[in-house]
Every structure is written in C-alpha cells, then in structure tokens.
Structure 1
Amino acid sequence: MITIEFNGLVEHLNSNANLLQLIELKNLNPKSLALVLNDQVVPRSRWGQIECQQSDKIDVFSAVAGG
C-alpha cells in the first residue's frame, strides 16, 4: 500500500496504479482535466506510463472555458 496526496487529501492506494488508472478510479473524465504531479505538469499522453509512487503529490484541475 502506498500513500499519496490527491488534491490536498491523503489517499491510500493498494497498488501502484498509473495516473490514468487513478483518474479512472476517481470517476473523473480525463479529457477535461490537467494534472500536476509533484509540481510538474504531466502531458495527458504520459498518464498511462507513470505509476503513482509513495508520497506523490497529485493535483487535478478541470478545464473551464470562458473569460
């Protein structure tokens, strides 16, 4: 089990899920999100390749249109 911080809340994961799997576990639509991992923006094309690690800090933002 690993512990991460997801949008400011401590979460426990049973396995090293990748970022895309984590987003899917949260029932979020990956097409409308931006993701920051440990203060670095991660391109959506890489989410399936990066596994969550102990103490990762993950922040997810919804894209909003308008001005």
Structure 2
Amino acid sequence: MTEITITINQQVQSIKAESNLEQVIDLLSLPQQGCVFAINNQIIPRTKWSATTLSQGDAISLFQAIAGG
C-alpha cells in the first residue's frame, strides 16, 4: 500500500495514496457540519468531496462557521 503525506491544519498526516477528501474526513473523524474544507487555499464544495483526490503535499485547511451577534 502506497502512502502520501498531506497537511491538515498544519499537522502532517500519512494517508493511503489516491484517497479522496471525503474518505480522509471520515478516516480522521473530522467535523463536517458547519465546516468548509480548502485544499491548497481553494475551497472544495461538499458536492465535490468524493471526487477530489488528494495528492502528495496537499495542504488541507478546515474552517468552522462561527455564529456572531
């Protein structure tokens, strides 16, 4: 099994090569509700998570919505 290294919120993770964003979110039990994910500073719509294959060195950022008022 080949692995690649990615960064999630500045923490290095090793994952299976050819994993998609949705698989990594599930694997690492990352929150999904009210969250936005960006890969290399490009926001990925939820509808494209399963079609977005990760590559060596990708930097994933997780942003959570915060209510104000």
Shorter chain as denominator, the TM-score bin is 0.7 to 0.9
Matched positions, count: 67
Q: Deviating runs (4+, > 2 A) in structure 1?
A: none
- Report the TM-score, using the length of structure 1 for normalisation: 0.87
8 Å contact kept, 2:17–2:55: no
SS state of the match for residue 55, structure 1?
Answer: coil
Unaligned stretches of 5+ in structure 1? none
1:5 corresponding residue in structure 2: 7
Is structure 2 residue 64 aligned with structure 1 residue 62? Answer: yes
2:9 and 2:55 mapped to 1: Cα distance?
Answer: 15
C-alpha distance in structure 1 between counterparts of 2:15 and 2:30, whole Å: 17
Measured after TM superposition, the shift of residue 30 of structure 1 is: 1.7
The percent identity for this pair of structures is 36
Distance 2:31 2:5 in 1: 23
Structure 1 distance, partners of 2:54, 2:12, is 13
The one-letter amino acid of 1:36's match is A
